Amino acid sequence: MTVTAHRTGLAVRDEQLRELMDDPGCDRRRLDATLRRFGTVNRLVSGWGAVYRDRLRPFLAEHGRPARVLDLGSGGGDLVVRLAGLAARDGLAVEWLGVDPDPRAHAVATARAPTPSITFEQSDAEALVARGERFDAVISNHVLHHLDAAALASFTSLSAQLSSGIVLHSDIERSRTAYALYTVGITPFAPGTFLRTDGLRSIRRSFRRHELGEVLGDRWQVERPVPFRLLASRRADG
């Protein structure tokens, strides 16, 4: 039996919560503002600077050819744009693809300044597997906490099938401290967006480190690259 968050606080992951921006009928202006502002918020709290420096950049630097990187559930595209900029600064030749099945997120992503190395597509992991796509690295940000057990198993399995190198899934780690800090810290960025309500709901839906490790199994390594963040990683089969 699922115990609801109002009874347990943050002791138990609350899979029953739904984020406002996931509602197809939500206010479009607030949604677009939320997706655009994710770029700023993610730079501050997502930990991808450390993940790029310690995990992704060394891997990409091993290639003697342009690498292909896939961002699954790329939302408004801010992570792809940020990582592409870091890789270009480091002289790495990389082709980036961000995919998201939500047409609203895809519209925000494609409105970003285009570059030859970045492509956005309204699609998902299942469609990419069906057409035989393969990438050197597959990543995601803030996807895992949206998924129930069956969807999580499918998503992580498909992401591994799509990678010939590494898979890196980054997400929030549920904790009272993270909840309290986010409540205060998001205030300057929240007006006109869903950032406050949905961010707090995301924390309540998120895993703790041992929980995610138990769900994903032995093939996956779950680390804490920076405070309040989890990184689930694995090497591709073979």
The reported pLDDT for the residue numbered 39 is 92
Query: Is 129's pLDDT higher than 90?
Result: yes
80-107 confidence digits (pLDDT tens): 999 999 999 999 999 999 999 999 999 9
Q: Where are the domains of the chain?
A: 46-173+208-238, 174-206
Which CATH architecture best describes the domain 46-173+208-238?
Answer: 3-Layer(aba) Sandwich (3.40)
Beta bridge partners of 169: 140, 232
Going by DSSP bridges, is the β-strand pair 135-141/94-99 parallel, antiparallel, or unpaired? unpaired
- Mean pLDDT over 15-28 rounds to 94
- C-alpha to C-alpha distances, 94 to 35, 80, 174, nearest whole angstrom: 24, 11, 33
The span from the CA of 120 to the CA of 96, in Å, is 8
In angstroms, the CA 90 to CA 106 distance is 27
How far apart, in whole angstroms, are the C-alpha atoms of residue 167 and residue 80? 15
**3 has pLDDT over 60:** no
> What whole-number percentage of the chain has pLDDT above 70?
96
Distance CA 104, CA 102 (A): 5
Confidence at residue 65, expressed as pLDDT on a 0 to 100 scale: 81
Q: How far apart are CA 99 and CA 123, in angstroms?
A: 5
pTM: 0.93
> Both tokens of residue 222?
């779950």
pLDDT of residue 70: 98
pLDDT tens digits, residue range 131-161?
Answer: 999 999 999 999 999 999 999 999 999 999 9
pLDDT tens per residue across span 159-188: 999 999 999 999 999 999 999 999 999 999
Query: CA 77 to CA 115: how far, in whole Å?
Result: 12
